[in-house]
Structure 1
Amino acid sequence: MEKPFTIFIVEDDPWYGQLLHYHLSLNEEDTVMLWNNGQECLNNMHLQPDVVTIDFSLPDISGDKLLARLRQRWPEIPVIIISAQSKITTAIELLKAGATEYLVKDDNTKDLLWNTIQKLRETSSLRERVKSLEEQLQSKYEFSKILKGHSAAIEGMFGLMEKAAQTPINVSITGETGTGKELVAKAIHMKSGRHKKPFVAVNMAAIPAELLESELFGHEKGAFTSAVARKIGKFEEANGGTLFLDEIGDLHPAIQAKLLRVLQERELQRVGGNGHIRLDVRLITATHKNLAAEVKNGNFREDLYYRVIGLPLALPPLRDRGNDVLFLAKHFVDEFCHEYHKAPLALHPAAQEKLQAYPYPGNVRELKTVVELATVLSNGLEIQPDDIVFAPAGHEAGFLDSEKTLREYTRVIVRHYLDKYQDSVPVVAQKLDVGKSTIYKMIQDGEV
């Protein structure tokens, strides 16, 4: 049950205290408690008030001393001072000492107090909402939700990811395309002490070599012809948080030297700049390459290798995860049935065998795409073997890495079957278990 908004009134004047108590109690959702002196307030702080109002002149302890004790022990609780003194200097001193508000006793005090508490209530509600959202976000990145499965290979990863999250050590993630390297990197960030700071991801292979230095380290206006304004680099964007450098094995040798210097000095200079910018960045890198082999072959600096290797995490390919294939497939089926408003589907035993027999060069990403298409193609209450369509022969290298839409993937698959069966629409419709009219319409619309 949600805790009511609780207000403490500390007032030694019985009449004035009852006046404030009555006025604030008009909001029946609030709990208002009246204390006659400072010690009574301190003795009852275990009740966790949301705001405390104190009279500046109390019989046992002065308002400024009570304020100091409240600030020291419960710094998050707002304190409102109510005083007969109208001296500006006194108000300024108390506000500097941590008072949230200073109100002078007069005919308007009770209304001003009401309005102040309403604002504090809104702030408190917003703070609780933010806290709830943060908790939800943290829960979203639970390791078992990121890496779904029960194989020994995956269970072993959770312990290493936990160690990575608890320390500031650099992390290097290796694994084939589609194993979830960026998801793991973000989960480690979200479980670390840096989770409130930025997580910045950069795909090194996707940025031309001539632009990479500016992208990572930023540049000053006029640093080169097209530098019409200052640019903040990815390192600065990630300051205080985590920088994820994906496909670091593809990093140009010239940039490797500059990256090494930044990691050693923990500072950088923007391109064309003279100032040094201090950095506090946790580095996580990923690659599908064998960096040790790249060092041996002279493609990757050895000194940089030892800087970035940190705690190595080797994500297993899906083909080495045993029954995780079926576990993930059933999860994706449920997910897509919900998304596409279809009745729940089961996997036919023969379909399960077909899924388990495939090597999945595209790993989890490929399995998800295959299951999505099977969910769409299926009729009845079960996904049949024919609903499961893998990458056409000769297309494995790039079929799933191109990140097409489902409709685009469907066109490729239908075109493949039409080529395979000499444009026989009845045969293709039978093989794909779809209506002939669907194939004819795609041909008529020029989609295949």
Structure 2
Amino acid sequence: MSASLPISIFIVEDNAWYGELLEYKLAQNPDYSIRRFTTAQACLSSLSERPDIITLDYSLPDGKGDQVLQQLKERLPEVTVIVISGQEDVRTAIGLLRQGAYDYLVKDEETADRLWNTVGNIRKQLALRQENARLKEQIGHRFDPQRAILGSSPQIQQLHTLIEKAARTNITVSISGETGTGKELVAKAIHYRSDRREAAFVAVNVAAIPRELLESELFGHEKGAFTGAVNRRIGRFEEAHHGTLFLDEISELDLSLQAKLLRVLQEREVVRVGGNNRIPFDARLMVATHRDLAKEVKEGRFREDLYYRLLGLPILLPPLRERGQDVLLLADSFLQEFCRQNNMVTCAMSEGARQKLLHYAFPGNVRELKAVMELAAVMAESDQIQPADLPLRHPQAPTAEPVLTGNESLRTQTAAIVQRYLDSHNGNILQVAAKLQIGKSTIYRMVQNNEVRLR
């Protein structure tokens, strides 16, 4: 990577003349893309552009340097901030450096030159960082949880700690959390940080495979084992040999298959459906569920012995509504990525849009936020996302009884109740099945027969 790496620089300076001076100096390098702001708020509102460097005047009309620095680091933790002050105060300088500032420059006749040198050093560090990232990519570090799982909240920082601990050993990992919180993403992060990263990461959604086919999917089958088995097929356990097998929605596993899974995990070998040979495997297991497995055990829907076999290192993912400012970090990231992939002008979010996101509960969690931001980028009339561009839904709790006349058939009344719950749970069939205490296959059948709709 050459030292001519293009970088983006924000200059935040309320003194127009001094801001022009700094801009003039830095603009001598054509690889520097520079934007100038006179207020902290104007800079904060443009962070979706993700500048590499921000020069920050310590005394701004709408905020002191330490306060603005804190906001910058919360919103964009990776940005490099250089504080420029008219006062030479050692205590202030030390405090800012501890807060995460890269450097503290005092305003005098040599400031522009010192800034030039400082930015040059930062550019070289950025170039080295990118080169290291490229080399890591080549040797198998294909997944960086710090980049894939964004967030500065305490919950996410703790999550990164658990990911690192899990990656050091082959302990089974059980991941729980609401739908859309990123359980598979966490499993991938652990796999690609572990010494198994060169082998396969195999994911199976237990809830998405019909019960009668799941045994073959997991353990494989021999030719002629059943009607349609025209060839031998290896199962997911064999496919994940030397790698990682991730079983999502493990709570949906049928009790009879739970017994077979327990045996497989105890013996570390599988027998294909219709076969007799015992096939050893070496695969790390991770499981995930949106349910409380301990409660499932208590209510007899999940084997206690399998529960303790799978528990291993438990990781609970927080819902998005409990992660504070993380929602804005994620929103900016999704927005920028969508615009890049679709060759669109990168949009920024207005303060009103940010507040609307912060005050929304996001029942669909991170998955819902991603969909919201992509649609907002399409619907926006300008390069700034407004509150009206955010298609947020506010699901209402279902009423105790649907509005019916009493003359409908039982089937019609059942469909009306299921439809109401589907509408209020964002079409999540698993949640509705649990809420109404009916089989998810019943709801799938009603969808196929057009008795209910996933809106």
Shift of the alpha carbon at 1:274? 1.2
- Correspondence for 1:145: 147
Where do residues 38-437 of structure 1 align in structure 2 (5 Å cutoff)?
Answer: 135-136=137-138, 138-391=140-393, 393=395, 395-398=423-426
1:188-216 Cα deviation digits (max 9, x unpaired): 11111111111111000011111111111
Structure 2 letter corresponding to 1:233? G
Structure 1 letter corresponding to 2:252? D
Structure 2 letter corresponding to 1:210? E
Say what the alpha-carbon RMSD is for the aligned residues: 2.3
Shift of the alpha carbon at 1:143? 1.2
Shift of the alpha carbon at 1:226? 2.3
Shift of the alpha carbon at 1:381? 2.9
C-alpha distance 157-382 of structure 1, shift in aligned 2 (>3 A): same
Shift of the alpha carbon at 1:400? 8.4
Structure 1 letter corresponding to 2:180? G
Shift of the alpha carbon at 1:340? 2.8
Structure 1 letter corresponding to 2:217? E
For 2:311 and 2:330, locate their aligned partners in 1 and report how far apart those are by CA, in whole Å: 30
C-alpha distance 138-359 of structure 1, shift in aligned 2 (>3 A): farther
Higher-Rg member (1/2): 1
TM-score between the two structures when normalised by the length of structure 2: 0.57
1:204–1:245 Cα contact (<8 Å) kept? yes
For 1:366 and 1:164, locate their aligned partners in 2 and report how far apart those are by CA, in whole Å: 28
Report which stretch shifted further, 343-352 or 292-301. Answer: 343-352
SS at match of 1:375: helix
- Correspondence for 1:14: none
SS at match of 1:365: helix
SS at match of 1:332: helix
Shift of the alpha carbon at 1:342? 2.7
When the two structures are aligned, how many residues end up with a matched partner? 275
Shift of the alpha carbon at 1:348? 1.1
Shift of the alpha carbon at 1:333? 1.8
Shift of the alpha carbon at 1:160? 0.6
1:38-95 Cα deviation digits (max 9, x unpaired): xxxxxxxxxxxxxxxxxxxxxxxxxxxxxxxxxxxxxxxxxxxxxxxxxxxxxxxxxx
2:202–2:236 Cα contact (<8 Å) kept? yes
C-alpha distance 371-159 of structure 1, shift in aligned 2 (>3 A): same
What is the identity percentage for the equivalent residue pairs of Structure 1 and Structure 2?
Answer: 57
Shift of the alpha carbon at 1:382? 1.4
TM-score between the two structures when normalised by the length of structure 1: 0.58
C-alpha distance 393-132 of structure 1, shift in aligned 2 (>3 A): closer
1:204–1:250 Cα contact (<8 Å) kept? yes
